[in-house]
Amino acid sequence: MNRNEDGGQDEGEEPSDTALLRRITEGDQAAFAALYDRYNLLAYHLAHQLIGEHEGAEAEVLGVFLNLWQRRNGPDPARVGVRAWLLTSLYHARQGRDTPQPHQPAPRDDGRVRTLP
């Protein structure tokens, strides 16, 4: 990757994930859009494998990216790599939804809803 004199990238080169994350922490919506464009299909395919249906997979991906934007000044995804962070976040978000929480209705075998003790 070639850098110009001010530390930026030469025209036409794609910014690194780390550079995009740095810009995202500064509130740069274009950098967020670029990161989304770079990873949304990969994230969608994993989410679809985990969930098994289109709408749920889309919602899960949007939720993970929204979390990244809302917590942009929190833990640094660049420490583990953006790709690994996104895919791990999807996996863990999905796992958390698979377990009914206390006091939430849980489905019964006959299709009716029952309340957990």
pLDDT value of residue 97: 61
Q: Which residues contact 97 (CB under 8 A, 6 or more apart)?
A: none
- pLDDT value at residue 4: 39
Residue 93 belongs to domain spanning: 17-98
pLDDT in tens, the chain (117 residues): 343 333 445 567 899 999 999 999 999 999 999 999 999 999 999 999 988 899 999 999 999 999 889 988 877 777 888 888 888 888 888 776 643 333 344 444 565 555 544
The structural domain count of the chain equals 1
Confirm whether 84 is domain-assigned: yes
CB 15 within 8 A of CB 9: yes
What pTM was computed for the model?
0.68
Coil, helix or strand at residue 8: coil
CATH number at residue 71: 1.10.1740.10
Domain membership flag for residue 106: no
Whole-number pLDDT of residue 47: 92
- 8-state DSSP, 112: -
H-helix or E-strand containing 115? Answer: strand 113-115
Beta strands 105-107 and 113-115, pairing class: antiparallel
What pLDDT is recorded for position 3? Answer: 39
User: Does a structural domain hold residue 108?
Assistant: no
Distance, CA of 82 to CA of 104 (rounded, Å): 33
Count of beta carbons in the 10 Å neighbourhood of residue 92: 11
The answer to whether position 23 is within a domain reads yes
Q: What is the pLDDT of residue 10?
A: 54
